[in-house]
Amino acid sequence: MERTPVRRIPWDIFLTLLVPFLLGLGLGLVYSWIISPTRVIDSEPIALRADFKSQYRSAIAAAYAGTGNLPRAQSRLALLGDPDPIEALNAQAQRMLASGEIQQAGDIAALASALESGPTANTQPSPSTQIVSVVPGISTATLLPIQTDIPFLFTETPQLIQTQPVIIESTPRPTRTLVPTLGAPFTLTGQDTTCDTNLPDGLLQVLVLNSNGRQMAGVEIRITWDAGNEQFFTGLKPELGNGYADFIMSPNTTYTVQLGLGSDIASGLTPPACQTSSGDTFTGGIKLTFQQP
C-alpha cells in the first residue's frame, strides 16, 4: 500500500530567504523612520509649530499695518492653513491682549477686521508678486498631504506651476495704500438695563459688532467717570463672545463709555437700582451694543 506524500512546508526556503528578508526590511524601516529619518528642509509655513505660526501671523499683521496690502496678507495667511483665518487672528489677538501685547494685538485685530469687512475676501485680486522657488538637488521630506513644489504665490489663489529652474514673474508692485480704516465710527445701537440677580452687581456689558453683525475682538473700550478712567478690550472672555467685554461699575457713580476706534458716546451711565421678586433691592447692570453702520 502506497502512502500519499504529505506536503511539507519548505522550511529551507523559508529560513534561507524569507526570514532574513523580513529581518532586513525591519532593520531598514527602523533606520529610515526612527534612527535617521529624512532631514527636514524646505518646509512650508503650514508645518510650523503653533507658537511659530503665531509669530508668522503677527508678522503678517504688522506688514499689513505697514502696507495695507490685503491680498498679499490673505495669501500669506493662506500659507498657514488655518481653517478659519479670521477666527485664528481673533483668537491670537485675544491671547496677546491678555498678555499685554497691545500694539501687536491691535495690528492683528485690524487685519481680522479688514478680512471680515474686505470685499476681496473670496475674490481674485490682481497678482502682485509671484515667486516660484526651487532649491535643486535637495531632497525634501513629505510634510503634510500637500505638494512640496507648490509655488509661493503672492496671489489670491496659488497655482500649481512646474518648478524647474527658477521662474520669476514680477509684476508692478501694488499701489501702496495708507493703513486701512476700520470703517465708519460705531453707533450705539442698544442701551439696556439688566436686572438679573445671577449677574454681578453693577455689571456693564459691552458688545461690539461690525457692519455684518459679527462680533469684533480686540476693540478698545474707554470708560471714564469723575474720579478716573480705564480702558478694557473685547474678546478677553471668548466664552461669552469675541465682541464681548464687561466692567464692574460702582453704585452712585456716573460713567461715560466710548470705543477707542471712534463711536457714539454713551454718557450718564449709572448702575440702576433693581428689585427682586421678594422686594429686596440690588444694583443692576447696563448692556451697551455698538455696531458699525
Q: Which is nearer to another protein, 131 or 273 (CB)?
A: 131
Size of the site for another protein (CB under 8 A): 63
- Which among 65-73, 202-210, 227-235, 263-271 is the span making contact with another protein, rule CB under 8 A? 65-73
- Which among 91-99, 109-117, 141-149, 199-207 is the span making contact with another protein, rule CB under 8 A? 141-149
Minimum CB separation from another protein for residue 22, in Å?
6
> At which residue does the C-alpha cell 534561507 appear?
16
Q: Which is nearer to another protein, 167 or 274 (CB)?
A: 167
b/e per residue 141-159 (b: at least 16 CB within 10 A) = eeeeeeeeeebbbbbbeee
Minimum CB separation from another protein for residue 235, in Å?
23
- 9 sits near another protein (criterion: CB under 8 A): no
Q: Which is nearer to another protein, 32 or 275 (CB)?
A: 32
Instruction: Give, as one character, the DSSP assignment of residue 215.
Output: B
What sign does the CA torsion over 86, 91, 94, 96 have?
negative
- 170 sits near another protein (criterion: CB under 8 A): yes
Minimum CB separation from another protein for residue 59, in Å?
4
Nearest to 64 by CA among 20, 102, 113, 29: 113
φ, ψ for residue 58, nearest 5 deg: -60, -45
- Which among 94-102, 128-136, 246-254, 273-281 is the span making contact with another protein, rule CB under 8 A? 128-136
Instruction: Give, as one character, the DSSP assignment of residue 45.
Output: G
Minimum CB separation from another protein for residue 110, in Å?
12
Chosen residue from 48, 102, 236, 240 binding another protein by CB under 8 A: 48
- The Cα–Cα gap between 58 and 73 comes to 11
- Which among 63-71, 109-117, 189-197, 253-261 is the span making contact with another protein, rule CB under 8 A? 63-71
Residue 71 contacts residue 128 (beta carbons within 8 Å): yes
Chosen residue from 3, 8, 9, 62 binding another protein by CB under 8 A: 62
- The Cα–Cα gap between 71 and 78 comes to 10
Q: Which residues pair with 208 in a beta bridge?
A: 290
Distances (CA, A) of 181 to 68, 106, 113, 178, 184: 10, 13, 10, 9, 8
- 197 sits near another protein (criterion: CB under 8 A): no
Minimum CB separation from another protein for residue 167, in Å?
9
- Radius of gyration from C-alpha coordinates of the chain: 30
- The Cα–Cα gap between 202 and 248 comes to 5
- Which among 58-66, 83-91, 236-244, 262-270 is the span making contact with another protein, rule CB under 8 A? 58-66
Nearest to 250 by CA among 269, 232, 236: 269
- Which among 17-25, 188-196, 230-238, 284-292 is the span making contact with another protein, rule CB under 8 A? 17-25
Using DSSP's 3-state secondary structure scheme, residue 55 falls into: helix
Q: Which is nearer to another protein, 26 or 260 (CB)?
A: 26
Q: Which residues pair with 289 in a beta bridge?
A: 190, 207
Point out which residues bind another protein (CB under 8 A).
12, 16-33, 37-38, 40-45, 47-50, 52, 55-56, 58-60, 62-63, 65-67, 76, 79, 128-129, 131-133, 135, 141-144, 152, 154, 166, 168, 170-173, 179
